[in-house]
Amino acid sequence: MSEPTRPSRRLDTLGTKEVVEVRPGAYHDSVTLMRAGRRLAERPGVSAALTAMATTLNVDLLAEMGFTPPRGARPDDLLVAIRADDEAALEAARAAVDELLATRAAPRAFGAPPPARTTGSAARRIDATVALISVPGPYVFAEAMDALEAGLNPMIFSDNVPVEHELALKETAARRGLLVMGPDCGTAVIGGVGLGFANVVRPGRIGLVAASGTGAQQVMSLLDEAGAGISHVLGVGGRDLSAEISGRSALQALRALDADPATDLIVVVSKPPAPEVGDLIRAAARRLATPVRFGLLGEGGEDLTSVAEDALKTVGAPAPSWPSWTPAARAHAPRRGRIHGLFAGGTLCAEASIVAGSTPHEMTDLGDDRYTRGRAHPMIDPTLRLERLAAETASDANAVVLLDVVLGHGADPDPAAALVPLVRDALVPVVVSLCGTSGDPQGRDRQARALADAGAAVFASNAAATRHAVTLAEGS
């Protein structure tokens, strides 16, 4: 049964039809809503669609899309807005909304308690140690504090959390001997269980402390390829090593991995920290019984592949030849010019900028907040990047287009399917950095072969992909 709606606002504009509905109290998570909006927009005859909670951000986005925002909508109300070419397309799209948003929860057994309504009440029912929190940034503090008070370690997937909230949460966690992972923690692996965007990796004896989501994914994927494996990956959020936060979660994570008998080596993966924080973390690392290897992107010219290779050397494991896949016979004549990188992973984008150098090349992080406003991350919803890829591969301004494809749980189930037609029609060489493992649900090798058959050069190492793109852009 669909939720009751407040009166819809229907408009006829220049031959098009549109409607805006408000569904009171009909909560759905943001990823479900963004995927539903994308599916609606792909329907025949639909030119624009939005399904979102009526937060201030989404009401503003509705106006930017040319819809008239409804009056009196509250943040816990659901907005459904559709613009179509004609009445039939509009009504068909409206009819599809309930199916796209349908949840198929298992029936509750007779006498079973009702679902928990708070993090704390849920924690009291089960033997849990971690709470995964993914709500809009301004609302994170209450949920994460509830988790800490219940004795849970929060993993905060959300971004746009005020820095003062992050600091207060991490100070509370330190007093309680708990770890706050995040905010903006996209990846964690705890006891072999992946959370957020996590790759399927074999168990091993190397633990990661990561202030970088895709940086952690690159390192763990390379270690898995080498057979070394992972004990745990503890994400701490991209701001943790800043002067404001001063490494509070990194220090907690180092202590936790040092106490873990399954971890023989700790690797810290991050962009360079604030200088005073870097000194603090290094001093703490020297006091641990477990050796710590620092992989700070760009420090001393280091890249993530060399970080993985050094970790392997430390544990006495040889580094393999990292996989690459040669493009199909069709080749573009090399010419000197610019590389344009279109990245879903912020750290992979930063690494490519460091390896390639900034001039004349351009690297764009489409996972940055300014591009994800009102839409899912490009690892989930590739629509924006596909549009940019079509334009950049047809532009005379580029000699090479470089992009990352990040696999694992939570990511697009078949990214190659949408990329292959654009790669095949590209007027310039396409180079792909493929971050994933052979165990990932998308099938790394299958994805690689599909992209290479379409004409892309594919590399498991992001640094190697970037160096290959540089070679092509130099006309070789």
Q: Going from the N-terminus, what domains does the chain have, and what CATH number goes with each? A: 6-101 (3.30.1360), 129-314 (3.40.50.261), 324-473 (3.40.50.261)
Instruction: Give the pLDDT confidence score for residue 126 in this predicted structure.
Output: 82
Return the structure tokens found at 142: 């209450």
User: Over the range 390-418, which residues count as b (16 or more CB within 10 Å of their CB) and which as e?
Assistant: eebbeeeebbbbbbbbbbbbbbbeebbee
pLDDT band, residue 3 (cuts 50/70/90):
very low
How far is 446 from 452, CA to CA, in rounded Å?
10
Beta bridge partners of 267: 208, 293
**Which has the minimum average pLDDT: 100-104, 187-191, 350-354, 389-393?**
100-104
CA angle centred on 141, ends 135 and 144, rounded to 5°: 80
pLDDT band, residue 274 (cuts 50/70/90):
very high
Return the structure tokens found at 417: 């399917």
The answer to whether residue 7 scores a pLDDT higher than 60 is no
Which residue shows structure tokens 């949920």?
143
How far is 343 from 365, CA to CA, in rounded Å?
5
Instruction: Give the pLDDT confidence score for residue 362 in this predicted structure.
Output: 94
In sequence order, which residues have a C-beta less than 8 Å from that of residue 382 and are 6 or more positions away?
A: 344, 412, 415, 418, 419
The answer to whether residue 267 scores a pLDDT higher than 60 is yes
pLDDT band, residue 333 (cuts 50/70/90):
confident
Look over the chain and give the mean of its residue pLDDT values, rounded to a whole number.
90
**Which has the minimum average pLDDT: 108-112, 147-151, 258-262, 272-276?**
108-112
How far is 413 from 446, CA to CA, in rounded Å?
12
Instruction: Give the pLDDT confidence score for residue 1 in this predicted structure.
Output: 41
Which tens digits make up the pLDDT trace of 132-177? 998 878 889 999 999 999 999 999 998 889 999 999 999 999 999 9
Which tens digits make up the pLDDT trace of 379-428? 888 888 999 999 999 998 999 999 999 999 989 899 999 999 999 999 99
Which tens digits make up the pLDDT trace of 285-321? 999 999 999 998 877 768 999 999 999 999 999 999 9
